[in-house]
Structure 1
Amino acid sequence: MISSTLLVTLLASAVSARSIKRGTGAIKCPVVLSGFVPVDKTPTDFDSYATSPFNPDYVRGSEKFSEILLFPDAGSSHFDNASTKSVEVTINDQSIFQTQNGFRRAGLQIQGDTNEGSPGTTGVRTLHFSVKQDAERTLNLTHEYLNVWHEAADFSANQFNFQSGTIIGKSDSDPNTFKVLNRQNTQVWETPIDPTAWQNFAITLDFDKNTLQVYYSKDDEPLEAVTDALTNDNSGEGQYQIGILKKPTGTSDVVNSGFQETGIDEGQIYGGIFLEDSADGCISL
């Protein structure tokens, strides 16, 4: 006969096993830059070049990444497995990068992704990332957010923006959606923000043909193309930015001024971050 204590232990183990269900997405193309977070990483690992998959100095304010990154029990994204885990980027009132006083900003740059000469800006590259919402650290969607983007090396433009919230100057935009904008800041696709599901995205940039294409799925469904390969200006090299950039309201100078409420405690959960070589049409779905 099984003792009551052992039965409780077995039941708890079964529940735990179900709660850490792993993604089944298979990576079939060469990985150029890896933002996967090994399951054994601790917060302080993200403060050192030797132990972090990301640049420990950028992009953040005065607080170290060990103070602003969380590791929630969010289950696994589509491309995570038993050896990797998700990471949550958070912002607060102190999240001011350099002198950008209008923004509240924190973000991840994959190590090896340099501003000039990056392996991420040649040939055909696909950036994969999955996002999930934290019910305790919701975004204030009356603001405009940049969540993922590729910024040109001279900082004059972004080859694409993956955004949420209320887009400044676009009164007809739905704040409750994720949006992909091209270099001209024209929206090419959107989907509602799901409060509970993992949402999986892939953005292919063809640096030879100057095109952009978007892929999407939820939870553990395979990615599907949701746009054609669209004409886009991918010139200017630069880096991929992954995290949160919250713009202010009430100003035309969003970098330096404007309204940000006090008591900010917001987060975005990310998983399955990697950049792959999509030469010859290779896409991990």
Structure 2
Amino acid sequence: MKSILSVVALISCVALTSAIPLLYDGRAPLNLTEADLDGSVGPYLTVVKGATENASHYSSLLGFSVPPTPLWDTASLVPNEQAISITIDNTSVFVPGSGGPQYGFRRTEFIAQANGNHTALNEVLDVGRTVFHFSIMRNDLLPLNYDHEYQIVFIEPSDGSHIFGIQLGSPFTDPTGTLPVPNAHSLKVLDHALNVIYTAPFTPLTWHNFAVQVDWANRTLCALYSPNAGPLGQVTEVVPNLSAPAGAAGVGDYHFGVLKLPLANPNDSPAEQADVVHYGIQEGTLEGLIYSGVFVEEASGGISIGDGLISSTICNSA
């Protein structure tokens, strides 16, 4: 199906990038600084991190050292954004406003915001049909432990569920099964009910480009994917996402980063083993991923698929 849908996408493209309303641009500008990250200045709210360190302890702006995904500026000699390294270590214990420290998780995440306000931005991003773009690269200097589950991109409404998510590693189970699972080294696109709707091998030295269209009124999803500079191609049908909350209850923050779930600890009580937020086994190692190409567009005029191209027919349910 992927090849057929990709051909359809290419046939329907026109080079009119201005036709797509850009709702949020999270592609880190070259003048963004790590002091901006520490202060949550600019396109990211950076408070989801370990409580003892600044955001720049866990995240780095890579400047010209690691070129960003080429998907959005293939004709330019100078990148128009910089890639971002996001890491976790044993201090990556987030302390939310209530519920106590999340000792079961290790997490560092950026949340989309505009003008210092993520809640107001959600009300713009989470209506109609919107497309969430992001590109992910392995950081083999700081490898992940694929025995664990990682949630690395998601939209999170107030009930803690994910409208859609990108998962790596071995999904958490209690008791822990055989690790790692066979597809642990694949990027998995999940719907709200945690069904896998697409997988792509997480190959090294590759930008893995994704776009996920969310139809908020009809509660559907549609995924696109490409490696490196290849144009995005549709890799799923328009699929129902009916378990997602409807209306205001489904509005949530757009996260990207590294959220590492624990392994169930056989020495914990059954209740503790089930409480993945506060209990479980974590090794405390330094691990990370690299991101670029993060933005959100309104889909009524089509979907940007790279290098100035737009498709007006992909991910249409009609």
Q: TM-score range by the shorter chain?
A: 0.7 to 0.9
Match of 2:276 among 254, 260, 264: 254
* Number of the residue aligned with 2:9: none
Counterpart Cα distance in 2 of 1:116 and 1:257: 33
Letter paired with 2:72: F
Matched residue pairs, number? 258
Q: Deviations over 1:246-267 (max 9, x none)?
A: 00002322111000013x1111
* 1:44, distance to aligned residue in structure 2 (A): 1.1
Partners of 2:49 and 2:55 within 8 A in 1: no
Of 267, 275, 282, the match for 2:296: 275
CA distance in 2, matches of 1:141, 1:159: 24
User: Is 1:265 the equivalent of 2:286?
Assistant: yes
- Name the aligned partner's letter for residue 203 of structure 1: V
User: Closer, same or farther in 2 for the Cα pair 1:117/1:56, shift >3 Å?
Assistant: closer
TM-score of the two chains, using structure 1 as the length reference: 0.84
Secondary structure in 1 matching 2:274: coil
Equivalent AA in structure 1 for residue 166 of structure 2: F
Q: 1:148-187 counterparts in 2 under 5 A? A: 148-155=153-160, 157-169=161-173, 174-187=183-196
Amino acid corresponding to residue 282 of structure 2 in structure 1: Q
Select the residue among 237, 245, 248 that pairs with 2:251: 237
Alignment correspondent of 2:136? 131
Contact 1:143 1:165 (8 Å CA) reproduced: yes
Matches within 5 A, 1:50-61: 51-61=41-51
Answer yes or no: is 1:30 the counterpart of 2:39.
no
Query: Which position in structure 1 is the counterpart of 2:107?
Result: 105
1:57, distance to aligned residue in structure 2 (A)? 2.6
**CA RMSD, Structure 1 to Structure 2 (Å):** 2.2
Moved more, 220-229 or 29-38: 29-38
Does the 8 Å contact 2:221/2:239 carry over to 1? yes
Q: Following the alignment from structure 1 to structure 2, what is the Cα–Cα distance between the partners of residues 59 and 94? A: 9
SS at the partner of 1:142?
A: coil
Amino acid across the alignment from 1:266: E
Deviation at 1:116, TM superposition (A): 8.7
Structure 2 vs 1, CA of residues 71 and 220 (structure 1 numbering), >3 Å: closer, same or farther? same
Residues 115 and 153 of structure 1 are in contact (CA less than 8 Å); yes or no, is this contact kept in structure 2? no
C-alpha separation between the residues in 1 aligned to 2:28 and 2:286? 23
Deviation for aligned residue 1:40: 2.0
Note if contact 2:113-2:121 (Cα within 8 Å) is conserved in structure 1: no
Pair 238,110 (structure 1): closer, same or farther in 2 beyond 3 Å: same
Indicate conservation of the 8 Å contact 1:115/1:237, yes or no.
no
> What is the one-letter code of the residue matched to 1:40?
N
CA 1:37–1:27 in structure 2 vs 1: closer, same or farther (change >3 Å)?
A: farther
- Kept in 2: contact 1:248–1:260 (CA 8 A): yes
The alpha-carbon distance between structure 1 residues 130 and 256, as it changes in their structure 2 partners (threshold 3 A), is same
Tell me if structure 2 keeps the 8 A contact 1:60–1:107. no
Q: 1:135: Cα distance to partner? A: 1.5
Q: TM-score, normalised by structure 2?
A: 0.76
What 5-or-longer segments of structure 2 have no aligned partner?
1-14, 96-100, 265-272, 306-318
Measure, in 2, the Cα distance between the counterparts of 1:278 and 1:255. Answer: 35
| Bigger shift: residues 178-187 or 80-89 | 80-89
Contact 1:45 1:66 in 2 (8 A): no
In structure 1, runs of 5+ residues without a counterpart are 1-23
Per-residue deviation, residues 233-281 of structure 1 (Å, max 9, x unmatched): 343211111101000002322111000013x11111000100110125x
Percentage of pairs with the same residue: 30
The 1:216/1:241 distance shift into structure 2, 3 A limit, reads: same
